[in-house]
Amino acid sequence: MSHRFPLGLFEGFGIELEYMIVDARTLDVRPISDRLLGPSGDVERGPVTWSNELALHVFEIKVAEPAASLAGLGNLFQAEVETVNRLLAPQGARLLATGMHPWMDPAREFRRWPHENDAVYAAFDRIFDCRGHGWANVQSVHLNLPFADDAEFGRLHAAIRLVLPLLPALAASSPFRDGTASGLLDTRLEVYRRNADRIPSVAGQVIPERIFTRAAYEGDLLAGIYRDLLPHDPEKILRHEWVNARGAIARFDRGSIEIRVLDVQECPRADLAVAGATTAVLRALVEERVSPFDEQERWSESELAPILLAVIREADLARIEDAAYLRTLGYPGRSATAGEVWAHLLESTVSREPAFTEWRDVFDLFLRRGCLARRIRRAAGENPSRERLRAVYADLGACLAEGRLFDPEGRAPRELPT
């Protein structure tokens, strides 16, 4: 996020959506992103930029500058998806969404981006070996939210840390790995949080530490990562704040915090709804409409991480028994599923957002059918054949191409208030 710097709290929104390029018939991954992106890895298209990622089959679409509002961005991204699909069609390929490819074998199929910025990717590969799901088979939404100064950074960081454990309940879309149900609803986050185990400080506990100033963040958290990396990276190729792999990272170079725990959904409208819900809850926390700042900042990563792990496993049906945590989020009960907490937040907070009407059907579907991962697993079954799994993901590919939600059961909705 560059634009007018610095932007204040909620004055701009950076959205990045990652997709897989797959064969149009078999849905196997196709490592051909450079055919569209060229060796530079970037194609500027007015308000949108196309970019590369580590894996050659991953294709990123992002806003070129911070958007003043999330309203209308779903349509903007959908148009880009349709353009990319038209360009891929002559090559027998298409885009596919969700947080992980359900049967990709990264040890055999991973191809690293070989062009510009290859030194960075080569360093990651040399240190961590990127031929695993946590590097080669992950697609996410990055939501960047700005801050203007240290005070705003501290308030925003405190709110984000508190909400992070709940986000996979709304966004999980990765229930399959290696052709079988993994037993988790957010498998992407599980493999992501383990991909840097060789140097544990890189990801920590995914929940960021209790740090609320730039000086402490750079002097403690980042300095610790750089120190631990140095024996493996003496040329300091990775000595940048983006090497931090927590679920939310400070980007002081562009005055924002980047949230990384959101799986990509079946179509851009759903992704923007998740981003909108996240932003609405964070705004309510930052403005202390839900709980005071001193209550928000007291939560340690050790207290929040077990909640995150439960939500990675069960998403919207994860049981949260910590009454103090629920109270800090404004939930009136002492125990609830993560889905029940989101139902409360959607009605009490998110429904007040100006763009809520664009997202209503996304939230209605979540309330009646659960997160996308649950819908996918229900449609495929616990032990699907490859053909059944391919059929389900072909439908998901059609959802992305057509901009529609994945609802194979299609029953009458439980509606949110107008």
- Cα separation, 65 vs 60, whole angstroms: 15
User: Cα 88 to the chain's mean position, in Å?
Assistant: 24
* Residue (of 160, 120, 140, 104) closest to 283 by Cα position: 160
Residue 4 CB coordination number (10 Å): 11
- The two structure tokens encoding residue 139: 């697609």
Residue 384 lies in a domain: yes
* Residue (of 121, 159, 141) closest to 9 by Cα position: 159
- Cα separation, 170 vs 224, whole angstroms: 32
- Cα separation, 49 vs 86, whole angstroms: 17
In tens digits, what is the pLDDT along the chain, a chain of 418 residues? 444 568 999 999 999 999 999 999 999 999 999 999 999 999 999 999 999 999 999 999 999 999 999 999 999 999 999 999 999 999 999 999 999 999 999 999 999 999 988 999 999 999 999 999 999 999 999 999 999 999 999 999 999 999 999 999 999 999 999 999 999 999 999 999 999 999 999 999 999 999 999 999 999 999 999 999 999 999 999 999 999 999 999 999 999 999 999 999 999 999 999 999 999 999 999 999 999 999 999 999 999 999 999 999 999 999 999 999 999 999 999 999 999 999 999 999 999 998 999 999 999 999 999 999 999 999 999 899 999 999 999 999 999 999 999 999 874 334 444 4
Residue 2 lies in a domain: no
> What is the H or E stretch that residue 134 is in?
helix 133-136
Residue 197 lies in a domain: yes
Query: What is the reported pLDDT for 382?
Result: 87
Query: What is the reported pLDDT for 410?
Result: 75
Q: Could you write out the DSSP letters of every residue in 58-110? A: EEEEEESS-BS-STTHHHHHHHHHHHHHHHHGGGTEEEE-SSS-SS--HHHH-
Residue 91 lies in a domain: yes
Query: What is the reported pLDDT for 5?
Result: 63
* Residue (of 286, 299, 12) closest to 159 by Cα position: 286
**pTM beyond cutoff 0.75:** yes
Residue 6 lies in a domain: no
Count up the domains in the chain and report the number: 1
For residue 308, the enclosing domain spans 14-398
- Cα separation, 209 vs 134, whole angstroms: 22
CATH code where residue 307 lies: 3.30.590.20
Q: Could you write out the DSSP letters of every residue in 299-338? A: --HHHHHHHHHHHHHHGGG-EE--HHHHHHTT--SS-EEH
Please report the sign of the dihedral spanned by the C-alpha atoms of residue 356, residue 361, residue 362, residue 365.
Answer: positive
User: Mutual orientation of helices 268-286 and 73-88 as an angle, nearest 10°?
Assistant: 150
Residue 392 CB coordination number (10 Å): 22
- Strand locations in 135-177 (E): 140-146, 176-177
> How many C-alpha atoms does 373 have within 13 Å on its Cβ side?
33
Token look-up 């037993």 returns 183
- Cα separation, 140 vs 270, whole angstroms: 13
Residue 409 lies in a domain: no
Residue 163 lies in a domain: yes
Residue 143 lies in a domain: yes
